[in-house]
């Protein structure tokens, strides 16, 4: 221990592949002004989910690390699916994570005029044409994965006719689906994305930002690279499924007149086992009313996990631990739980709440007496604040903290056994009161007055300690306990019948416990940690007007449940 300082702490400098690319580009003067510019380009067609956190952390993180910047760009080129509500939510979620795009908030729709002009220029140069094939015909002409496609019969239209048609498309003179602007690349390319990709389609849809000004909208393969170029993006980082689009990206940034040439790099998206992470499916859960909204605490959306009490720090730590690579893997849910637990353990305020109450009557404690004990908010914290907890003759403890016939290795309350009520007294169980059906209604105990504060003069030890709540002084709260996020039975990505797969794993518990000072405190916000194996969060009143809800954030290692199972098997 005295040699600590002499130990050479090996600086861990291993870089991920993107950092290596950037450092190499920087070292070789390939970055204009040495300013790394990335972008996070979500389509505002839904709420951001946990998977997006990886992309956000990579793009904003890289910009931070290398002293550049990251633009927020809303990729709004499909007016039928996009909504202002989503834009607001996206911005809130990124900010919650602690990232700031400053003044660099852009919209693909800001570039509609530029894009249009570039398209006209492509037509003039004979590099794009108006195709009048139907969607079905186009598909047929495209060929298959193993067979080359054929040129559209409209491919050789004159430049004049193409120009006229495209202009008419813009003016709304043609119905949706009648014409489409395509790039002339190569119908026999083994890469299907290069078989004369569509550039512009007709859509008589109202756009939330441009209204009815346009009725032709540019496609991703055209919009994205040019938006990147226009914004001076140096490193355009996306997920693996766009690898096949990189040639199209390079084609677009090579168009005459497009000044800046960004480069696209791809990384593996985040998959977490049993977690449903597809905007389409999440939207479905919302539409079908299976959840209360995108921010339902069971949803793996950023707003959902925020409501359950996950912290941005924990999620960023999680992403850091997952790493960045090109391997399509599936991360264990338990790693995310670990990160949340680790963070919450350091900062969560501990409050005692009984979720599944069992009444305890202390026969030798005076009726009507109320005594207060001091509890610390967070034992992990030095000089942690304390608060007073009322103790009375009748209390509630957790139902699982009592067993009439104890299992092996059970050292909580059972007839004849002595345990400690945290911060208060030692009690010993004597007798049990049951109803006709044999359900335990209450347990009668006696307490040791000398054990006040949780220790005794003779320093005898007890093996069990339980949390408790006063029956008369406590407050009743409506609690909804969520175990995990919506999980699928499919360990990889959720598939077809994911709705059947979903295991809500939630239950409603209404504890009988009544007002306690610490519960009132909790109601003002923050983390509420408690219980043997779990952390709980209480939503702040502000964010859930009228819906006081308890959310159990994570299930800790369910060691108790496992032990119980083991004992049952023995």
Partner RNA sequence: UGGGAUGUAGUGUAAUGGUAACACUGCAGAUUCUGGUUCUGCCUUUGGGGGUUCGAGCCCCUCCAUCCCAGCCA
State how far the Cα of 520 lies from the Cα of 538, in Å rounded to an integer. Answer: 11
Which of these, 49, 99, 46, 96, lies nearest to 72 by C-alpha position? 99
Overall residue count recorded for the chain in this entry:
570
317 or 544: CB nearest RNA = 317
Task: Report how far apart, in Å, the C-alpha atoms of 373 and of each of 197, 274, 370, 454, 457 are.
Answer: 72, 43, 10, 10, 18
Q: Least Å distance between CB 231 and RNA?
A: 15
CA dihedral 186, 191, 195, 200 (to 10 degrees): -130
- Phi, psi (deg, nearest 5) at residue 217: -125, 135
Closest separation between CB of residue 3 and RNA, Å? 15
Closest CA to 299 of 497, 483, 486, 85: 486
Give the shortest CB-184-to-RNA separation in angstroms.
15
User: What are the tokens at 257?
Assistant: 């007149």
Residue nearer to RNA on the CB measure, 220 or 310: 220
* Residue written as token pair 């790693």: 335
| Helices of type H across 231-369 | 246-253, 279-287, 302-308, 312-322, 333-347
Please identify, using beta-carbon distances, which residue of 16 and 472 lies nearer to RNA: 16
What is the helix (H) or strand (E) element at residue 560, kind and residue range?
helix 559-569
Selecting among 19, 43, 83, 92, the annotated active-site residue is 43
Write out the two tokens for 184. 């002339």
Comparison of 277 and 296: residue with beta carbon closer to RNA: 277
Concerning whether 43 is annotated as a catalytic residue, the answer is yes
Q: 39, 170, 195, 279: which one is catalytic? A: 279
Report CA-CA distances (Å) from 525 to 485, 519, 536, 542: 21, 10, 12, 8
DSSP letter for each residue of 453-502: GG--TT----S-EE-EEETTTS----EEEE-SS-B-S-SSS--TTHHHH-
Smaller CB distance to RNA: residue 296 or 331?
Answer: 331
Instruction: Determine phi and psi for 425, rounding to 5 degrees.
Output: -130, 165
319 versus 475: smaller Cβ distance to RNA: 319
Sheet holding 198-202, edge to edge: 128-131, 180-183, 198-202, 216-218
For residue 251, the minimal CB distance to RNA (Å) is 14
Q: How far is the CB of 67 from RNA (least distance, A)?
A: 20
The distance of closest approach from Cβ of residue 459 to RNA in the complex, given in angstroms and rounded to an integer, is 10
Name the residue nearer to RNA (CB basis): 257 or 453.
Answer: 453
* 279 SS3 class: helix
The residue among 77 and 253 lying less far from RNA, judged by its C-beta, is 77
Distance CA(528)–CA(348), nearest Å, equals 6
> Which tokens belong to 363?
């026969």
Distances (CA, A) of 532 to 379, 465, 498: 15, 10, 32
Q: Give min distance, CB of 126 to RNA, in A.
A: 21
Q: Are 79 and 217 in contact (CB under 8 A)?
A: yes
Please report how close the Cβ of residue 542 comes to RNA at its closest, in angstroms: 26
Rounded CA-CA distance 514/389 in Å is 12
Catalytic residue among 81, 164, 209, 269: 269
- Closer to RNA by Cβ: residue 15 or 520: 15
17-27 vs 50-65: helix crossing angle, rounded to 10: 30
In whole angstroms, what is the distance from residue 267 CA to residue 253 CA? 21
Q: How far is the CB of 244 from RNA (least distance, A)?
A: 5
Q: Which is nearer to RNA, 369 or 461 (CB)?
A: 461
SS3 425: coil
Indicate the helix (H) or strand (E) that contains 133: none
Greatest distance between any 2 Cα atoms in the chain: 102
What is the nearest approach in angstroms of RNA to the Cβ of residue 338? 4
Distance CA 170, CA 116 (A): 9
CB of 197 to RNA, least distance (A): 7
359 is catalytic: no
Residue with smaller CB distance to RNA, 430 or 456: 456
For the annotated catalytic residues, the residue numbers are 43, 269, 279
């Amino acid at each position: 221990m005295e040699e600590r300082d002499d130990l050479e702490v090996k600086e861990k400098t291993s870089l991920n592949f993107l950092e290596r690319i950037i450092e190499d580009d920087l070292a070789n003067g390939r970055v204009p002004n040495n300013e790394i510019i990335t972008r996070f380009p979500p389509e505002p067609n839904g709420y951001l989910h946990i998977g997006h956190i990886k992309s956000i952390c990579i793009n904003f993180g890289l910009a931070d690390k290398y002293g550049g910047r990251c633009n927020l760009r809303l990729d709004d080129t499909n007016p039928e699916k996009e909504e202002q509500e989503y834009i607001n939510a996206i911005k809130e979620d990124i900010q919650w994570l602690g990232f700031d795009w400053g003044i660099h908030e852009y919209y693909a729709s800001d570039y509609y005029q530029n894009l249009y002009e570039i398209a006209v220029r492509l037509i003039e140069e004979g590099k794009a044409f108006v195709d009048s094939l139907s969607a079905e015909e186009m598909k047929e002409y495209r060929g298959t994965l193993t067979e080359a496609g054929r040129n559209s019969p409209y491919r050789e239209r004159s430049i004049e006719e193409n120009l006229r048609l495209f202009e008419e498309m813009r003016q709304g003179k043609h119905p949706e689906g009648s014409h489409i602007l395509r790039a002339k690349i190569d119908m026999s390319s083994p890469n299907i994305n290069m078989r004369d990709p569509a550039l512009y389609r007709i859509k008589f849809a109202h756009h939330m930002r441009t209204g009815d000004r346009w009725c032709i909208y540019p496609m991703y393969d055209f919009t994205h690279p040019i938006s990147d170029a226009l914004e001076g993006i140096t490193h355009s980082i996306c997920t693996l499924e766009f690898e096949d689009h990189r040639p199209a990206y390079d084609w677009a940034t090579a168009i005459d007149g497009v000044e800046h040439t960004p480069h696209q790099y791809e990384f593996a998206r985040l998959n977490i086992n049993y977690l449903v992470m597809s905007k389409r499916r999440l939207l479905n859960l919302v539409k079908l009313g299976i959840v209360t909204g995108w921010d339902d605490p069971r949803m793996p959306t950023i707003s959902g996990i925020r409501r359950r009490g996950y912290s941005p720090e924990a999620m960023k730590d999680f992403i850091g631990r997952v790493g960045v690579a090109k391997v399509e893997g599936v991360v264990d849910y338990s790693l995310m739980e670990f990160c949340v637990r680790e963070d919450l353990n350091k900062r969560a305020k501990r409050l005692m709440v009984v979720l599944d109450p069992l009444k305890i009557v202390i026969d030798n404690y005076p009726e009507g007496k109320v005594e207060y004990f001091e509890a610390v908010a967070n034992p992990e914290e030095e000089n942690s604040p304390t608060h007073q907890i009322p103790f009375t003759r009748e209390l509630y403890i957790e139902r699982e903290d009592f067993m009439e016939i104890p299992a092996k290795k059970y050292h909580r309350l059972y007839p004849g056994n002595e345990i400690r009520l945290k911060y208060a007294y030692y009690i010993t169980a004597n007798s049990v009161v049951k109803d006709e059906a044999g359900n335990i209604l209450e347990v009668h105990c006696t307490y040791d007055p000398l054990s006040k504060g949780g220790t005794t003069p003779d320093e005898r030890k007890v093996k069990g300690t339980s949390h408790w709540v006063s029956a008369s002084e406590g407050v009743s709260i409506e609690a909804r306990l969520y175990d995990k996020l919506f999980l699928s039975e499919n360990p990889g990505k959720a598939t077809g019948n994911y709705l059947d797969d979903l295991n809500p794993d939630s239950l409603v518990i209404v504890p009988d416990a009544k007002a306690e000072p610490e519960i009132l405190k909790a109601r003002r916000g923050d983390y509420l940690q408690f219980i043997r194996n779990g952390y709980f969060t209480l939503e702040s009143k502000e964010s859930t007007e009228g819906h006081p809800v308890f959310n159990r954030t994570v299930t800790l290692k369910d060691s108790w449940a496992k032990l119980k199972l083991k004992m049952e098997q023995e």
